[in-house]
Amino acid sequence: MHVCSFPARIRPRRTIAYGSIAAVLLCAAIASAQIVPVGSGSYTTTLPAGGLNPVAPKVTANVTGPAPSTDWWSSLIFARSSGNYGDVLAVQPLNLKAAASGLGVGTGAIVPTGPSYYAYGYQEDLLVGLAGLSAPATKVAGYSDWTVTARWDDGTRRLDATFGHGLPFVYFTRSGGVMQLYFATGLPTVWYNQNGTLGIRVNNKNYGVFAPSGSSWSTAGTTFQSALNGKNYVSVACLPNASTATLDLFRAHAFAFVTDTRVAWNYDEASATVTTDYVARTVAMEGSPTTPLLAMYRHQYLHSDASLLGLSFPSLEGEMKLAATDSFRTTMTYPGILPLLPAPLADSPGYDAARLNSYLDGFLSQSYAQLFYRPDTYYGGKDLGVVSSAIRVADLVGRTDVRDYLLTGLKQKLEDWLTAEPGETDGVFYYNATWGTMYGYPASFGTDSELNDHHFHWGYFVMAASVIAMY
């Protein structure tokens, strides 16, 4: 017999039909009542005390519709604690960071910081901007499937920068002001300087700067400046090496500015094959080439017949290999994923049944209050995830005592989350009709103010509901 204690706020609730959790979490109906029933559960349309609504997105007037959240560039569109210029953007192979005067450019370095941890740090090698530019914020001026365009505008000068995953280039256009490259550590080593093209080395890393034909660069203190021969565009790229042949290759594609990117996929169930098409649209700022250079991730080039150039970059997700193309296709086999591994045989090498049972016994020694002790949707969601996994393991090895004990607690905890009461501030879901989204309280990691991390916070809840439905 187990004596169980519950947090005071867990109240007896009616049993919820767990197959309806998707309706609870994803419901898009605009409700007029404070408490809205869904099956045997409910949510509230009144913001709990202390809750936050999403901040207004930082976008230009031409950007309309939903503000994408939980993307690699979402800190540009939502003002965060880092201010109005966003966080470090691990674009890969580039690493970028916006500031009032322009865009900081670097490449990441993987740095071990312990026996089981590493950091992908940001080191700014140069800052690309306009002389005198001081924008009050960086705004999103457009986006596509894997690129975004950021804008700086101080009323006198305006700078746009387009960048994205797999692009070794950042494409800049300006209105007013003199183009400027700022180097915090002093002027770089210049190993090429002809007809507006620079080959430079900063912090042992190589970059190419490609201004319009006929341009020239002058130095002033720790900056390079150019009037761009009266034009309004320039591109900056990280280079895999310092050879003039590589610089010539990059210049041949430097003015094919990427303006749009699209990903489309198809799954053939009969052959368990996923086919994905990647397409980049470009415009030639000068000359005729409109083919961009794309740095393909490992999972892309290993499953594609794209023609590679023999040049590569390091990145957080492995080696990226360069291709001169505006499209490529990947084909991968996807037979599905097991929800968990099957139970081991008693004589399986390395299997220690006594050890596993000791872990399962540990769950029986904890009250429900101890198993579900964290209040917010992230850490509380992790509690749901741990118990859900333990239930399935217990069932596989015949520990129905553990399975049923945990099932009872999981059901009660989830019923508490999925039932709202007037004035409730903990363990409740709130629907924001203005933004068309639902989030839980207590919120964490910007789930309310930035609509951040919804995909995996709610994944814990969906998994917990599916486990209950399973048994």
Q: How far is CA 202 from CA 18, 92, 107, 125, 186, in A?
A: 57, 18, 11, 6, 9
Mean pLDDT of 12-25: 46
Cα–Cα distance for residue pair 172/237, rounded to 1 Å = 11
User: How much is the pLDDT for 56?
Assistant: 86
Q: How confident is the model at residue 20 (pLDDT cuts 50, 70, 90)?
A: low
Query: With bands split at pLDDT 50, 70 and 90, how would you rate the model's confidence at 198?
Result: very high
Q: Please write the tens of the pLDDT for every residue from 313-364.
A: 998 889 999 999 999 999 999 998 887 888 888 888 999 999 999 999 999 9
Q: What is the pLDDT of residue 439?
A: 93
The residue type at 243: S
Please give the backbone phi and psi of residue 301, each rounded to the nearest 5 degrees, phi first. Answer: -70, -25
The pLDDT confidence band at residue 191, using thresholds 50, 70 and 90, is very high
Q: Rg of the chain's alpha carbons, rounded to an integer?
A: 27
Predicted pLDDT at 327: 97
pLDDT bin (cut points 50, 70, 90) of residue 13 is very low
Q: Give, as one character, the DSSP assignment of residue 458.
A: H
Q: List Cβ neighbours of 407 (8 Å cut-off, separation of 6 or more).
A: 391, 467, 468, 471
**Can you give the pLDDT at residue 115?**
84
The H-or-E segment that residue 244 falls in is: helix 244-253
Structure tokens at 259: 């303006």
- The C-alpha atoms of residue 78 and residue 447 are separated, in whole angstroms, by 12
Q: Given this model, what pLDDT does residue 5 score? A: 30
Q: Vertex 140, ends 134 and 144: CA angle to 5°?
A: 145
Nearest Cα to Cα of residue 53 among 446, 463, 466, 465: 446
Q: Which of 252-256, 284-288, 412-416 has the lowest mean pLDDT?
A: 284-288
Using an 8 Å Cβ cutoff, are 162 and 145 in contact? Answer: no
The model's pLDDT over 236-274, given as tens digits with 9 standing for 90+, comes to: 999 999 999 999 999 999 999 999 999 999 999 999 999
pLDDT of residue 173: 98
Kindly provide the residue ranges of all beta strands, DSSP E only, lying in 223-326, ordered along the sequence. Answer: 223-226, 233-239, 256-268, 273-284, 293-296, 308-313, 320-324
**Per-residue model confidence as pLDDT tens digits over 125-175:** 999 999 999 999 999 999 999 999 999 999 999 999 999 999 999 999 999
Q: What is the pLDDT of residue 450?
A: 87
Answer yes or no: is pLDDT of 1 > 90: no
Nearest in space to 103 (alpha carbons), one of 17, 193, 174: 174
Using the structure block, give the residue that is written with the tokens 């070794």.
168
The confidence score (pLDDT) of residue 78 equals 86
Residue 133, pLDDT score:
96
Contacts with 443 (C-beta within 8 Å, 6 or more apart), sequence order: 51, 52, 376, 377, 449
* 212 cis-preceded (ω within 30 degrees of 0): no
At 188 the three-state DSSP class reads coil
Confidence of residue 306 (pLDDT cuts 50, 70, 90): very high
Residue 9's pLDDT is what? 32
Q: Is the pLDDT at 10 greater than 80, yes or no?
A: no
Name the band, by pLDDT with cuts 50, 70 and 90, for residue 66. confident
pLDDT of residue 21: 52
DSSP character at residue 392:
H
Residues linked to residue 141 through DSSP beta bridges, in sequence order = none
Sheet containing 273-284, strands listed edge to edge, beginning at the edge strand earlier in sequence: 256-268, 273-284, 327-333
pLDDT at 12 over 70: no
Residue 407 has phi, psi (to 5 degrees) of: -60, -45
Q: Does residue 462 surpass a pLDDT of 70?
A: yes
pTM attached to this predicted model: 0.85
Angstrom distance (rounded) from CA 158 to CA 112: 39
Specify the DSSP element, H or E, that contains 109. Answer: strand 109-114
